[in-house]
């Protein structure tokens, strides 16, 4: 099977089985999605969803969070990974949104990545999920699945290279969903340590390229 045929098979399966897919993070606004996505770095969505209801009840928007101190935010997010660093970023991010962007989350990737704690992956998530843009956020799951299933060549050895390759080979209309398809497949089937190949719908066509598939 060629790589192009593999793309068509895999994307066709996801179109049929997961036509209405989105992030598992819980949020009620662009700002809350941005906060939740920042908190999800090296942390599970399940854990983030456990802390954000109380956090958002107290700080529902950038204006309210901008008035908080790091210690205030830390009280709500202690159970996530790297809470001190994330509390610092959240306060600084909220203050920049208020001072530089009129309390609104920008849609432009260059402006998004000016915000403290917001890298390309987080910016791509915001663009795709909230603004509906054709962007491909590459996290550890997307990186791993793309390599293991042979969707990208071995030379695509950075998140940006994987992103660029996927963007060239996935139809534009599928790109916002494809991030979630690959992420969820990596989270629940093609796991890092114990991939569930026997339960995988792609078991028969997957080249299982394990070497070099892990990010970092």
Distances (CA, A) of 176 to 81, 116, 141, 216: 27, 24, 16, 24
Query: What residues are annotated to the active site?
Result: 121, 139
Degrees (nearest 5) of the Cα angle 102, 84, 24?
70
CB distance 62 to 31 below 8 Å = yes
Q: How many CB atoms lie within 10 A of CB 187?
A: 18
Distances (CA, A) of 148 to 74, 205, 216: 37, 11, 15
How many DSSP H helices and E strands does the chain contain?
11, 0
Q: How far apart are CA 79 and CA 24, in angstroms?
A: 18
Kindly write down the DSSP assignment for every residue of 114-173, as one continuous string: TSTT--HHHHHHHHHHTT--------HHHHHHHHHTTSS-TT--SHHHHHHHHHHHS-GG
């Amino acid at each position: 099977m060629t790589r192009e045929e593999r793309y068509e098979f895999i994307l066709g399966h996801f179109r049929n089985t997961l036509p209405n897919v989105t992030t598992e993070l819980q949020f009620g606004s662009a700002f809350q999605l941005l906060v939740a996505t920042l908190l999800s770095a090296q942390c599970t969505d399940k854990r983030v969803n456990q802390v954000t209801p109380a956090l958002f009840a107290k700080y529902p928007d950038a204006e309210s969070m901008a008035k908080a101190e790091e210690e205030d935010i830390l009280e709500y997010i202690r159970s996530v990974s790297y809470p001190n660093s994330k509390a610092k970023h959240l306060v600084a991010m909220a203050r920049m949104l208020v001072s530089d962007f009129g309390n609104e989350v920008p849609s432009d990737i260059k402006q998004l990545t000016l915000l403290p704690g917001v890298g390309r992956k987080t910016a791509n998530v915001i663009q795709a999920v909230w603004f509906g843009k054709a962007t491909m956020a590459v996290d550890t799951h997307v990186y791993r699945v793309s390599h293991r299933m042979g969707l990208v060549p071995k030379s695509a050895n950075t998140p940006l290279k994987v992103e660029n390759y996927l963007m060239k080979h996935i139809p534009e209309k599928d790109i916002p969903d494809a991030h979630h398809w690959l992420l969820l497949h990596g989270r629940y089937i093609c796991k890092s340590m114990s991939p569930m190949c026997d339960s995988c719908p792609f078991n028969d066509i997957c080249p299982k390229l394990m070497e070099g598939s892990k990010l970092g």
